[in-house]
Amino acid sequence: MFLRSLTITSDDKVIRDIIFHNGLNLIIDETPKSKQIATGNNVGKTTVLKLIDFCLGSSPKNIYIDPETKKDEYLLVKDFLINKNVLITLILTTDLNDETANNIKIERNFLPRTKHIRKINGKNYTEDEFELKLNELIFPEHSSEKPTFRQIISHNIRYKDEHLNNTLKTLDKFTSDVEYEALYLYLFNCDYKDGNSKQAILGKINQEYTYKNRLEREQTKTAYESSLSLIEIEIERLNRQKSKLNINENFERDLAELSQLKYEINKSGSLINKLKIRRDTIIEAGNELSSDKTDIDISQLQLIYKQATDNINTIQKSFSDLVNYHNRMLDEKIKFITAELPTLEKNIAEHNLALRDLLAKEKELTALLATSDTFEELENLISELNENYRQKGEYENIIKQISEVESSIKNYNIDLELIDKQLFSEEFEQTVKNQVNKFNMYFSQISNALYGEKYAIKYDKVTNRKNQRLYKFSAFNTNLSSGKKQGEISCFDIAYTLFADSEEIPCLHFLLNDKKELMHHNQLLKISNLVIQHNIQFVASILKDKLPSELNNPDYFTVILSQEEKLFRIENQ
**DSSP codes joined into one string, 221-232:** HHHHHHHHHHHH
pLDDT per residue as tens digits for the range 29-50: 987 765 554 443 578 999 999 9
Distance CA 290, CA 277 (A): 20
* Higher-confidence position of 39 and 488: 488
> What are the start-end ranges of the E strands in 125-236?
157-158
Interval 203-222: pLDDT, tens: 788 788 888 888 888 889 99
The pLDDT value recorded for residue 481 is: 44
Mean pLDDT of the chain: 84
Report pLDDT for 193: 65
Q: Is residue 546's pLDDT more than 70?
A: yes
Separation of CA 246 from chain center: 69
pTM exceeds cut of 0.75: no
C-alpha of 83 from chain center: 32
CB 532 within 8 A of CB 180: no
pLDDT at 348: 86
pLDDT band at 241 (very low <50, low <70, confident <90, very high): confident
What is residue 573's predicted lDDT score, i.e. its pLDDT? Answer: 63
Is 560 a residue whose pLDDT tops 80? yes
The pLDDT score that the predictor gives to residue 318 is 62
Residue 118 is predicted with a pLDDT of 96
**Confidence check: pLDDT of 4 > 90:** yes
Is 1-175+506-573 assigned to CATH 3.40.50? yes
Question: How much is the pLDDT for 352?
Answer: 87
| Residue 429 φ/ψ, nearest 5 degrees | -60, -35
Decide if 559 contacts 565 (C-beta within 8 A).
Answer: no
Cα distance between residue 243 and residue 241, in whole Å: 5
pLDDT at 249 over 60: no
- In this prediction, residue 151 has a pLDDT band, given cuts at 50, 70 and 90, of very high
Read off the pLDDT of residues 354-383 as tens digits, 9 standing for 90 and up: 888 888 888 887 876 665 545 556 677 888
pLDDT (mean) for 140-155:
90
Domain boundaries, the chain: 1-175+506-573, 207-423, 426-505
